[in-house]
Homo-oligomer: A and B are copies of this chain.
Amino acid sequence: MAMATSTPVEVLSAVFQVREPVDGRATLHVLLQRSGAAEPWALPGGDIGDRETLAAAARRHLGTQCGLTRVAHLEQLSVFSAPERIPGTRTIASTYLGLVPRDVPAEPETMDIDSPAAASWFDVDGLPPLAYDHAEVIELARGRLAAKLSYTNLAFALAPSRFAMSELSEIYGAALGHHVDATNLLRVLSRRGVVVATGTLGRTGRTGGRPPALYTFADDELVVTDEFATLRPPP
């Protein structure tokens, strides 16, 4: 076996949450941190410990840099290996997509009150200048999220545990960047068994009317829901 070289490796996580800013329209946000006011904003991440997997390292950095511990889904994205992606020391980045449900309080807290380090959520359509190739990582993560919303149940990791379909369509709309019709969405997700009715009603919305039916995801881990019927094994 050929010997592997000791190229430095870092882990980087693009973690999304659908959040409502001041104007009330829910949009997709990404978690960023910086080590000082003069540093560019960057994705949370860093080194991998000797006894640690990459996923464990990703979660550790999210905790220590951003105070975030409740990630409902974390999956590998691509490895970024362009030799010049970071000037100076050649470093390979193993990147992750993370998702936080809308009802999880996820206000980053600076771990050390005297530290100039900070963490914050940013609307993905209004990002500040970012370190190195981190904007590319975020674009890749957004694309992966949008693709997986179409053929898996991945929205479970963005949605609250129970939701009205109007709320779920807002979450899909925020993640996809375009309007998603709640009635169509319910029809498709029910037929596939992705969402199920809880038999309970929510609170009446801002516009009044009857209290909405509440739904939940049938699974809280990733399931591919839209397999190509022709290619299924014979029953």
Please name all residues of chain B whose beta carbon is closer than 8 Å to the beta carbon of A226 when the two chains form the complex: 151, 226, 228
Given A1-B42, A61-B2, the answer on whether A231 and B79 have CB atoms closer than 8 Å is no
- A149 contacts partner chain B, Cβ-Cβ < 8 Å: yes
With known contacts A8-B4, A35-B1, A230-B184, A78–B81 Cβ distance under 8 A: no
Q: Which residues of B contact A9 (CB under 8 A)?
A: 4-5, 7, 9, 92
A48 touches B5 (CB 8 A): yes
Chain A stretch 206-235: residues in CB contact (< 8 A) with chain B = 224, 226-228, 230-231, 233-234
A234 to B149, CA, bound (A): 17
Task: Report the minimum CB–CB distance from A74 to chain B (whole Å).
Answer: 12
| Partner-binding segment picked from A14-22, A107-115, A121-129, A172-180 | A172-180
**Contact at A46–B94, with CB atoms within 8 Å?**
no
> What are the residues of chain B within 8 A of A61 when measuring CB–CB?
2
Contact B83 A54 (CB under 8 A): no
Compute how far the CA of A177 lies from the CA of B234 in the bound complex, rounded to whole angstroms. Answer: 11
A82 within 8 A of B: yes
B residues less than 8 Å from A8 (CB atoms): 3-7
Confirm or deny: A90 has a beta carbon within 8 angstroms of a beta carbon on chain B.
yes
B131 and A52 contacting across the interface, CB-CB below 8 Å? no
Residue of A177, A188, A230 contacting most chain B CB atoms (<10 Å): A230
The verdict on A230 contacting B42 (CB below 8 Å), with A8-B4, A53-B82, A61-B2 known, is no
Contact A4 B46 (CB under 8 A): yes
In the complex formed, the residue of B with least CB distance to A185 is B230
Q: How far is the CB of A153 from chain B (nearest CB, A)?
A: 12
Interface assignment of A166: CB less than 8 Å from any CB of chain B: no
Chain B residues contacting A176 (CB-CB under 8 Å) are 231, 233
Contact status B228-A149, CB under 8 Å: yes
Q: Kindly provide the distance from the CB of A147 to the nearest chain B CB, expressed in whole angstroms.
A: 6
Q: How does the 8 Å CB contact mask read for A142-180 relative to B, with 1 for contact and 0 for none?
A: 000001011100000000000000000000100011111
5 A-B pairs closest in CB distance? A2-B46, A150-B228, A4-B10, A4-B8, A54-B81
11 pairs of residues in contact across A and B, judged by CB atoms under 8 Å: A4-B47, A5-B9, A5-B50, A7-B48, A48-B92, A50-B90, A92-B94, A149-B231, A150-B227, A150-B228, A185-B230
